[in-house]
Every structure is written in structure tokens, then in C-alpha cells.
Structure 1
Amino acid sequence: MKVAVVQFDPKIGQVQANIETARKLCNSIIPKSVELICLPEMCFTGYVFSGSTHIAPYLEDPVTGPTSLFCSQLAQRVGCYVAAGYAERLATHESIKTVVNLKEDNDGEKALVMSVEKEVHQVGANSAVVFDPHGQRLADYRKTNLFRTDMTWAKPGTGFKTLRLPPPLNTVTLGICMDLNVQPPASWTIDGPYEIAEHCVKTDTDILILLNAWIFSGDEDADADAGDYPRDWGTLNYWASRLRPLWSKGGLDDGKETKVIFCNRCGEENGKIFAGTSAMFSMRRGSDQPVLMHALGRRNEEVGIWDIR
């Protein structure tokens, strides 16, 4: 069984150009050669919007929007499942004004302490869609644990999404980027909480997919030793550490294996540098060691086609 992970550098607000970039990359995927294709969080709009007014022109209808049309066509052409992130337009009755707590003076996905109250207009949702091999819409998901950029315009989801698919995919859980992190107001210690990992244990997940726009860890020293194909090892280590219940000893040490796919974007946008480094891990409960099976470079626009067995 193989999966394709599409890593690229979408330009903010340039939807059609981003679609063409993704299309050119995906043209390398031969029909019937993979069971699953993943594209990153908000893959065709870009990510770093300043608020509801900025993002409003790019919000998509969940059925007829450009991400759904692209994914449906791709799923039919290749004959596989396709998962992608997009910015969903809320129905009028869902769109509300509310007050959220933000911390605006620190970078990085791990900045979770929020202290600034701000009124925002929730006009959309940071969402994901899954299409089946016939090009039919199978499932939707809204990001549950919002990053502060999302909080300026997005309504949070209500919980992680788990799908029961036919073999060889089987039980698949879907999350988006910040869903990996601890949910405020909780604080993370080695004992937890590990929300999405604990959900995967509870649902006996075979494959966890995380569609990301994850920010570079800033580990420039690793870059210096990596030649022309640097990876963000700080981010890889952090991703694995946040999924500790899937591989550590002392929990359900039953040897259950979960494959974890991180599909991240690369590039730079409005002063934010993204980590790239899309990756796949094998995590076996009780092994005490996650295994990195594949990882792309930090800066590369490419498709990783990986054997998931």
C-alpha cells in the first residue's frame, strides 16, 4: 500500500495559481499507484490571513469550492482517496461575532498561552475534506484546536474525525496541524494530555493523517549540516513527542501499530516560515521508540510516494 504526500508553497490569495502548482505536482502520480493522496492545510488559499475581512474573499463552499472540485477530479483520475485542507465558508446562521483570547507576540505552533481579548467575526472554518476513489465526497472535518491565526476568523470544530474505510486503509483518523497540540487551558507535561494520540488509542486507529501549515522550529544549526536537502529535525522530534501514547511504554503495550502521516506545506508567507519536512512515522505501542520512515526536505516542493506497509 502506498500514499502520496503533496508538499508545496501556496501563495496567499492566489488560488488558481496554487491549484496549477498542485496539479503539476500531482500529474506525476500514476493511476492506481497509491491508495491515498494528502494535501496540506488550507492548501489553495494560503494560511496567514489577518482576520475575517482578509480571508472572506477566499472562503470556499464545502461542496462546489475549488478544493472540492480539484480533489474530486484527482480522486477519480488516480482511483484513490484524497484528503485536503481548505478554508470553509460558514452558512449565515453559523457566522457569529465573539470574543477570543489571543497571544500575539510570540511565534511558533507551541505558543499556547493566550492573554489578549479580541472581538472577532467567525466567518469560516479551517476544514478538511476527504473524497473516495470514485470522486464522491466522503467526509468533512473542522479543526478542533485553533492556532491564534485561525482564531481571528474561524469557528472551531467539535472533535476529531475517525473514518472506517475498506482495507488496506482501515481505521483512519484525521486532524489539522494545531490539533496535535495541547488544548488550552491545559498545560502539557510528560504525563499529558495527549488529546489526538489518546483519541487514536481509543478508536484503535491504523492511520493518523495530519494536514499542516506548521511553522519552522528555527533550528538553523540542523540546516547547516544538511546540505541541499535540510529537514526540520526540531519539528520532527516535537511531532513524535506529542504522540507519545502511540509508542511509549507503560500504557497499552499491545504492539498495535499506527502509521502517522504529516502533510505539511513549505515556503514563507507574511513573515512566517513553514517547516516543510512532511513525514511518515511508524508508531507501535509499547516499543518506546517511534520510527521515522520517510521525510521530505524543509524547502522542497515535491510529492513523496511512500510505501506504508
Structure 2
Amino acid sequence: MELLQRNPRGHGLNGPVLACVQMEPRVGEKHGNVVRSIEYIEEAAKNGASLVVLPELTNTGYVFADREEAFSLAEDLPTGETAQAWADVAQRLGVHIVAGIAEREGKRLYNSAIFVGPSGLVGIYRKLHLWDHEHLFFESGNRGVPVFDTPLGRISIAICYDGWFPEVYRLAAAQGADIVCVPTNWVPMRGQSADRPAMATTLTMAAAHSNGLIVACANRIGTERGQPFIGQSLIVSGDGSPLAGPASHDQEEILYAAIDLLRTRSGRTLNAFNHVLRDRRTDVYDTMLGTGWPSSRS
């Protein structure tokens, strides 16, 4: 397995380590995709990672020919074979894993992410904002923006196009999230020059800064049934600056960064007068954006 390792073995990193795997799933080759993803998880764990993020729809590939193909590749969660394989490796290696997966619930399909750890299932997230032809295959997510308590911090999940909506990051932050893991399949944006930073990376850095969150984006590479993907995975600190990446446009690689909860939480205080979350004008707009959910720590 030829991988570019950005800071392998966590050199210079103190505390728990977060890894984003940039790889090339192949549509329909579910067994091979899962086997390769486990190799990458093992590599990341060997280099000190405690939390590993994989791309969107890691097990199936992305560009389905039709809904029938998508349905045939999807699985029930958390009992499906892919979910069980990732849960087994999480337990064996003592790591947490967030990975994109096609979920089947009865006759409904979701573009989902499963979150597993050493003790088994942590949670499931369903993509809220569907992109382009995803509308032909998937239902919109119906589980909101959950935040999961873990030994590594309070962790939320978004998937790809969700990152274009500041409400997703705000709802995570308002519930006390420290980290947002983003399995993604970023594609070239219409009208954007290839010699400029990807819009996705700009949006990620802005969301991290304005919410005081670590954001970890694991993108894929390659071209699938004519659709190119742009790579450029990255891990961003709570002040909006990249901790690792952006990665290359076209290589499989693993990015590593430290999870520094003290720095992330304290960094939300911008100066003696300003705090990026407590300064919200909740007399003007609803603190939970009208969802009716109870707010948590900020």
C-alpha cells in the first residue's frame, strides 16, 4: 500500500491523534473498498491515531448507475457487514472510526456515516443536504445534528455538502461539540479556477473559526464514471488554521493532527471582551435555530 503519510507516527503531536484517510473507493467494489479501508485504519493506528475519519460512501463508491444499484450496495445499520467489519477493527485496535456508508432502512436509503469505537456503536449520522444526483437515490437525513460524548471529546458529524450550510456547524457548536468529522466526496465547483484554493477548504476553515471547532475532512480522489474528485482533505483547528493539509489532488494519503481540547475550548475566547459562542445575540435569533432542541455546553 503506497501512501503519503503527513506526519507519520505523530511526530511532534501531544495528546490523542486524529487521522483523515484520503483514498479512492471504487463504485460497486464493496469488499475491496472495505478491505483497503481497514488497511488504512491499521496504518493510521500504527502511527498513533485514536480517531480515524474515512471518506463519504467509503464502502460503495459514489456514482451509482441507478437507485437499484445503490439499494443493492446499501446495508442495514448497525448490523450490516461493513459496519460490523469496522466495529471489529475499532475494538481490535482500540480506536474510534467515522466512515461514510450507504444505509438501507426498509425501502429507504440514506447517505450516512457510522461512528464506532472500542466498545461498539457510538452513533449514526444521516446526511442532511443532498447534492445533485444524490436526490435520485437517497432520502434527506432525519436525525438532525447529533453530538456524541466520547473519551476524545464531544464529536459531531457532517457529510460533504452539509459543509455549505453554516447551520450544521452552529448546531454542533451550540450542543458543545469539540470536533466535527466530515466524510466527504468533494467535486470541482462550477466556475472555480483550479489554481485557487478549493471552495470546500475555505468554507471549512471559516466554519472552524466562527464556531471554535476542530473540523476533520476526509475526501476521496480519482474519477468515477466520468465524475472527478478533488482530494485536498484537511484538518482545521478551532482558530480556522489548517493543522494538516490540504492534501494533494490525486494521491492516497493520511493526514495526522493532535486533538487538543484545552486549546480548542480556550481558543473560543478571542480577547478580554469576546467569546465566539457566548457573543451570540440570542435575543435576536434563537440559540438552537428554531429546532426546539435543548442547548448544551458552549
* TM more than 0.5: yes
Q: Residue 172 of structure 1 corresponds to which residue in structure 2?
A: 155
Query: Structure 1 residue 269: deviation in Å?
Result: 0.9
Q: Residue 308 of structure 1 corresponds to which residue in structure 2?
A: 259
Contact 2:154 2:177 in 1 (8 A): yes
Using a 3 Å threshold, how does the CA distance of structure 1 residues 139 and 258 change in structure 2: closer, same or farther? same
- 2:223 paired residue among 259, 268, 276: 268
Q: What amino acid is aligned across from residue 209 of structure 2 in structure 1?
A: W
Q: Residue 123 of structure 2 corresponds to which residue in structure 1?
A: 139
Instruction: Give the Cα separation in 1 of the matches to 2:170 and 2:44.
Output: 33
Identity %, equivalent residues: 26
What SS does the aligned partner of 1:131 have?
strand
Matched, 1:202 2:174: yes
Q: Residue 220 of structure 1 corresponds to which residue in structure 2?
A: 194
Q: Residue 80 of structure 1 corresponds to which residue in structure 2?
A: 95
Query: Structure 1 residue 32: deviation in Å?
Result: 8.9
1:225-259 deviations in whole A, cap 9, x for unaligned?
A: xxxxxxx5443123334x2xx524xxxxxxx7321
Q: Residue 236 of structure 1 corresponds to which residue in structure 2?
A: 201
Query: Structure 1 residue 304: deviation in Å?
Result: 2.0
TM-score with structure 2 length normalisation? Answer: 0.75
What SS does the aligned partner of 1:46 have?
coil
Instruction: Give the Cα separation in 2 of the matches to 1:2 and 1:257.
Output: 18
Contact 1:209 1:262 in 2 (8 A): yes
Point out the structure with the larger helix share: 2
Q: Residue 22 of structure 2 corresponds to which residue in structure 1?
A: 7
Contact 1:33 1:78 in 2 (8 A): no
Query: Structure 1 residue 83: deviation in Å?
Result: 1.0
Query: Structure 1 residue 215: deviation in Å?
Result: 0.8
Using a 3 Å threshold, how does the CA distance of structure 1 residues 204 and 263 change in structure 2: closer, same or farther? same
Matched, 1:257 2:212: yes
Q: Give the number of aligned pairs.
A: 241
Query: Structure 1 residue 203: deviation in Å?
Result: 1.3
Q: Residue 154 of structure 1 corresponds to which residue in structure 2?
A: 138
Query: Structure 1 residue 31: deviation in Å?
Result: 5.4
Query: Structure 1 residue 86: deviation in Å?
Result: 0.5
Query: Structure 1 residue 130: deviation in Å?
Result: 0.8
Q: CA RMSD in A?
A: 2.0
Q: Residue 225 of structure 1 corresponds to which residue in structure 2?
A: none
TM-score with structure 1 length normalisation? Answer: 0.72
Instruction: Give the Cα separation in 2 of the matches to 1:200 and 1:30.
Output: 27
Instruction: Give the Cα separation in 2 of the matches to 1:171 and 1:2.
Output: 15
Q: What amino acid is aligned across from residue 48 of structure 1 in structure 2?
A: V
Q: What amino acid is aligned across from residue 260 of structure 1 in structure 2?
A: V
Instruction: Give the Cα separation in 2 of the matches to 1:247 and 1:63.
Output: 33
